[in-house]
Structure 1
Amino acid sequence: MNLEITKAIKNEVVNFKSPNPAFYEALGHDGMQKLMYSFYDNIYDSDIAHFFPQDPEEFEKVKIKNTKFFIQICGGPSVYDEEMQGKKDLDQYMIDIHKDFSIYLKSRNEWLGTFREVLEELDIDEEIKEDFWQYLDKFSKLTVNRWPKESAYVN
C-alpha cells in the first residue's frame, strides 16, 4: 500500500477527485465516525493541536462537523450541507475555511501523517484506502497558505 505524502509546491495546479464512494460503503456511517474520531483524538495530541479548540466540548463539535464533511465527500448522505451556509461546492468551501489559519508544509505533513496512522489500521481493500489517501494528499495541498521564503543564499 502506498500512502506517500507528496510534495506540495506553491501555486501548483492540483487536480483531484472526490474519494471513491466505495470508501464510505466499506466503512458505513459508524465506521466513518470511528475513523474520524480516532484521527481527531490523535490530532489533539499532535504538533498541530493548536489549530483546534482546546476546550473538550468545542473540540467535540469540530469532530462532529468534520466527520459530516468526510461522510458526505466520500459519497455518504448529504449531512454536511447545513454547515455550508448555502454554498454549492463542498471542496471550495473547505479550502475557504482553512484560509483563516496559517498552514505551513510542516502542518500539512503532520495532518497527513496523523491520518495515515489511522488509515493503516483500517481493515478494508487496499485500493479503496489508497484512493481515499490520494484525495487527502492532493486536496491538502490546497490548504497550505504559508510558504517558506526563498533566499538568495540558498541553492
Structure 2
Amino acid sequence: MGGLRDEEQSFYEAIGGEPTFRRLVGAFYAGVASDPYLRSLYPEDDLGPAADRLTLFLIQYWGGPTTYSQTRGHPRLRMRHAPFAINEAARDAWLGHMRAALDTLELPADQRDTLWQYLVNAADALRNTPG
C-alpha cells in the first residue's frame, strides 16, 4: 500500500515544496530587478511583496498550503493584472526571466516541462494589450 502515497503526492511536494518555489521566484525577480523594461511594469519600489505574492500563488496552485487565498482572496489573475499593459514584449520578457529561473532548479525534464507549460499558458492568458 506504500504506492498509494506516491499517487497522491502533489506536484508541489514532488518538486520539493516551498523551498523550490522560493528559489524559482527569487531567481525570477533577480532577473526582473535588472531588466529596465520589465522592472518598469512593477509599481512597487521593493519587489519583495510581489515575489511573496507570486510564491504563495504558485505554492497554492500546485497543491501546497492555501495561504495565498487566505490572505488575498480568489487569485483573479486577469483582474489583478488589468491595470498593467501586458503586451507580447512584456510576456516574452517575463517568460525569458522565468525560463532562466526555472533552469536554475535543475528539475527532471517531465517536472520542468509541466511547470514551463503552465507558465507559458499563464503568461499568454494575461496579455491584455496588442503588440
- 1:28 offset after TM fit, Å? 1.5
What secondary structure, in the 3-state scheme, does the structure 2 residue paired with 1:124 have?
A: coil
- Identity percentage over the alignment? 24
- The root-mean-square deviation of aligned C-alpha atoms, in Å, is 1.8
Structure 2 contact 86–128 (Cα < 8 Å) conserved = yes
What secondary structure, in the 3-state scheme, does the structure 1 residue paired with 2:18 have?
A: helix
Figure out how many residues of one structure are paired with residues of the other and give that number: 122
Q: Which structure has more helix as a fraction of its residues?
A: 2
- 1:111 offset after TM fit, Å? 0.3
2:38 aligned with 1:55: no
* Unaligned 5+ runs, structure 2: 1-8
What secondary structure, in the 3-state scheme, does the structure 2 residue paired with 1:51 have?
A: coil
Structure of higher RCO (CA pairs closer than 8 Å, 6+ residues apart): 1
Q: What's 1:5 paired with?
A: none
List, as ranges, runs of 4+ consecutive aligned residues in structure 1 with deviation greater than 6 Å: none
Q: What's 2:4 paired with?
A: none
Aligned partner (choices 24, 31, 34) of residue 23 of structure 2: 34
- 1:107 offset after TM fit, Å? 0.3
Structure 2 length as normaliser, TM-score? 0.83
* Unaligned 5+ runs, structure 1: 1-19, 149-155
- 1:130 offset after TM fit, Å? 0.3
Cα deviation code 1:74-119 (max 9, x no counterpart): 111111013433x3xx3xx012111111111000000001100111
Counterpart of 1:82, as a letter, is: Q
